[in-house]
Amino acid sequence: MPARGPSTPTLDERIDALSDDVRDLTKGLGDLRTKFAGFRGEICNELRWIKRIGGALAALVLTVVIGSWQVTWDAAAAATEVKQQGRRLDKVEERLDKIQVQVDKVEKRLDNVEKRLDTMQHQLEVIISRVPAKAGG
């Protein structure tokens, strides 16, 4: 037997091998597409949940912001009302002070009138005690 050197594959053998490689590659790509589709479905599902949670959190944050704004507005309105009531109270106190001064003056006058009346009553009693009583009546 004669010794042969290294054999080279024929064209048909190369095409068959290449065809097998393409089939394996196609099968691998099909598996990859299937896995990718499953993975993509899971990602879409996760993204839906994230969107729902994000929407709920955004609504919560918006509610908190609006609520805090409302509280701030109400506090400012209450502070303004307190200031206004304080001014009105100051005016009422001034009026009461003026009325008290007038009442004090009236009380002094009444005291003077009472003193005069007491003096007049005393004088009348003295005059009545000096007049002799009539007989029979």
CA gap 86, 75 in Å, rounded:
16
pLDDT digits (tens, 9 = 90+) for 33-74: 999 888 898 999 999 999 999 999 999 999 999 999 999 999
pLDDT digits (tens, 9 = 90+) for 110-120: 999 999 999 99
3-state DSSP helix/strand/coil % of the chain, to nearest 5: 90, 0, 10
